[in-house]
Amino acid sequence: MKPPIYQCQSGHSICNTCRPRLEKCPTCRAIFGTTRNYSLEGLTSGVQYPCLYHDLGCPEAAVATVISRHERECQFKPYSCPFPNCTSTGNYQTMINHLIAFHSDAVIYNGATGYSESFRLDNSSCYTKIFDRKCVIAFNQIFRLSCKRHADHCLWAAEVYGSNIDMKTYVYEVTIVDMRRPEKKFIRTDYCLSDVSEEELSKRCIMFPNSILSSYSNHGMITFHFNIKEK
């Protein structure tokens, strides 16, 4: 049992993993509050905990604070494929191999941290509601980059996929370039997201109105650079 360790009104202890799943103590049915069992937590300071993913092959073991940091980036942690309608799963390296083998047309790797693309800005078009997605393999992470065009605006967002690291570690940058005058640019930067729904992604993304994008068009074409950066 790793800290934080909570206890019910009767004093029974429960770990932080199980606590959110239960409204009442399974032993006495008393209500849980926010009370911590600091005495029991103190006894755990010297305990060596195996990695949460030891059954998947991870050999790491360390005290609670150290092993928790390790688990956030453990190479044995299971990933699911970041592309819709693909059910493949595996650890980090297995997923990297899968992405390169089966989604190579939408995966950026070999040192690149983003991509550039052009599209026609057409306010009268009825665009799909589905995000256009690509993956970037960089900084020992998998990033999912999403772009969606609407009749009056365009959205960009980036996620650190399958990771629980501090989201302020990585940012994404969208640069709109006027190809008639490449020195004319419009740049926006924001923090990468993690584990958010598509609805939430649409709310916390970078958004450019088409009225602004049109001033950067080259014969109706918009060119953008979409990159991941480590802070």
Find the mean pLDDT for residues 17-31. Answer: 86
Domain 104-230 = CATH 2.60.210.10: yes
185 CB contacts (<8 Å, ≥6 apart)?
A: 175, 176, 177, 178
What percent of the chain is modeled with pLDDT above 70? Answer: 94
Contact in structure between 136 and 152 (CB atoms under 8 Å): no
Of 99-103, 125-129, 151-155, 163-167, the range with the lowest mean pLDDT is 125-129
pLDDT mean across residues, the chain: 89
User: pLDDT band at residue 130, thresholds of 50, 70 and 90?
Assistant: low
Residue by residue, DSSP assigns 195-215 as S--HHHHHHSSEEEEHHHHGG
Question: What is the Cα–Cα distance from 121 to 123, expressed in whole angstroms?
Answer: 6
Exposed (0-12), middle (13-18) or buried (19+): which is 133, by Cβ within 10 Å? middle
Q: What is the pLDDT of residues 59-113, one digit of tens each?
A: 999 998 898 888 877 888 899 999 988 999 999 899 999 999 999 999 999 999 9
Q: What is the pLDDT of residue 40?
A: 85
User: How many other β-carbons are positioned within 10 Å of the β-carbon of residue 90?
Assistant: 15
Exposed (0-12), middle (13-18) or buried (19+): which is 159, by Cβ within 10 Å? buried
User: pLDDT band at residue 199, thresholds of 50, 70 and 90?
Assistant: confident
Q: Where in the chain is the domain with CATH 2.60.210.10?
A: 104-230
CA torsion sign for 112, 114, 118, 119 is positive
User: pLDDT band at residue 157, thresholds of 50, 70 and 90?
Assistant: very high
